[in-house]
């Protein structure tokens, strides 16, 4: 039985459970939840990124010390999911337009972070990175300045969460990213080619394609992996099942 479990864990298409990233003092534990939602644990710090899909998905997770929200759309700021969680001792970091929509008195604190701004929380350094569509237009689904991607440094490792974005110069200019979570869902964000091109430029140590379901179906993450492997073979592309119900 143990041998069977071990063999199953070696098959990327079946991988859904936690990944461990070695860091100072403790591993950083990554748990994919759903779509663009994940849990990050490092020592005593538990971070929820864009909680979405219902509170039941978090039943086996530790309570969040910190919630990062990237944008106003319902698969990022999902108030129904937030309301189903006990976040009374939780700090939420969000862009201004999200913070204005959050109900008062339900969280320990709400901190507004704009593009380019930084803060610290329980030893983690958090920087808000622009996320937006190209070309920049007045009717853009994701205008520059409204939402945040985030770079979080903990345990000597740097983690990038793209949010909804295209292959913007700010992403391509990232340096020393150990682990990146990169979206690719049409017509809202990037094609596989755009995402692979950007990743091949900033070269994270590990990249997880996430947030890859759009109105046109699922993006081809195997194609993304092939493209990255061809242009930046040292980048470790990790495919995980972010849509377990599908």
Q: What is the CATH number of the domain that holds 77?
A: 3.60.15.10
In this prediction, residues 162-190 reach a mean pLDDT of 96
Beta bridge partners of 131: 147
Sign of CA dihedral 20, 42, 211, 4: positive
3-class DSSP assignment, residue 141: coil
Any domain includes 29? yes
Is residue 92 situated within a structural domain? yes
pTM over the 0.75 mark: yes
Q: Does a structural domain hold residue 70?
A: yes
| Predicted local confidence at residue 5, as pLDDT | 37
pLDDT (mean) for 100-111: 96
Residue 64 lies in a domain: yes
Q: Are 217 and 193 in contact (CB under 8 A)?
A: no
> Does residue 106 sit within a domain?
yes
**What local confidence, expressed as pLDDT, does residue 139 receive?**
74
Half-sphere exposure of 109 (CA within 13 A, CB side): 8
Rounded Cα distance, 18 and 14, in Å:
12
Tell me the average pLDDT across 26-50.
Answer: 97
Inside any domain, residue 113: yes
Structural domain including 178 reads 17-237
**Residue 17 pLDDT class (50, 70, 90 cuts):** low
Q: What's the number of domains the chain is made of?
A: 1
What is the predicted pLDDT for the residue at 186?
85
């Amino acid at each position: 039985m143990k041998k069977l479990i071990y063999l199953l864990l070696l098959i990327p298409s079946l991988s859904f459970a936690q990944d461990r990233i070695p860091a100072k003092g403790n591993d950083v534990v990554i748990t994919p939840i759903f779509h663009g939602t994940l849990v990050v644990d490092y020592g005593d710090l538990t971070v929820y990124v864009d909680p979405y899909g219902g509170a039941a998905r978090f039943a086996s997770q530790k309570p969040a010390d910190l919630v990062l929200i990237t944008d106003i759309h319902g698969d990022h700021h999902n108030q129904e999911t937030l309301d189903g969680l006990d976040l009374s001792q939780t700090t939420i970091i969000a862009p201004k337009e999200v913070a204005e929509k959050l109900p008062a008195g339900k969280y320990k604190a709400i901190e507004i972070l704009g593009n380019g701004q930084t803060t610290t929380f329980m030893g983690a350094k958090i920087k808000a990175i622009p996320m937006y569509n190209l070309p920049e237009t007045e009717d853009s689904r994701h205008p520059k300045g409204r939402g945040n991607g985030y770079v979080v440094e903990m345990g000597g490792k740097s983690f990038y969460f793209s949010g909804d974005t295209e292959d913007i110069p700010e992403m391509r200019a990232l340096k020393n990213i150990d682990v990146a979570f990169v979206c690719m869902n049409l017509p809202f964000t990037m094609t596989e080619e755009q995402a692979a091109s950007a990743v091949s430029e900033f070269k994270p140590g590990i990249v997880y394609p996430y947030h890859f379901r759009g109105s046109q179906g699922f993006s081809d993450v195997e194609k993304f992996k092939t493209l990255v492997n061809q242009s930046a073979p040292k980048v470790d592309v990790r495919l995980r099942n972010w849509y377990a119900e599908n």
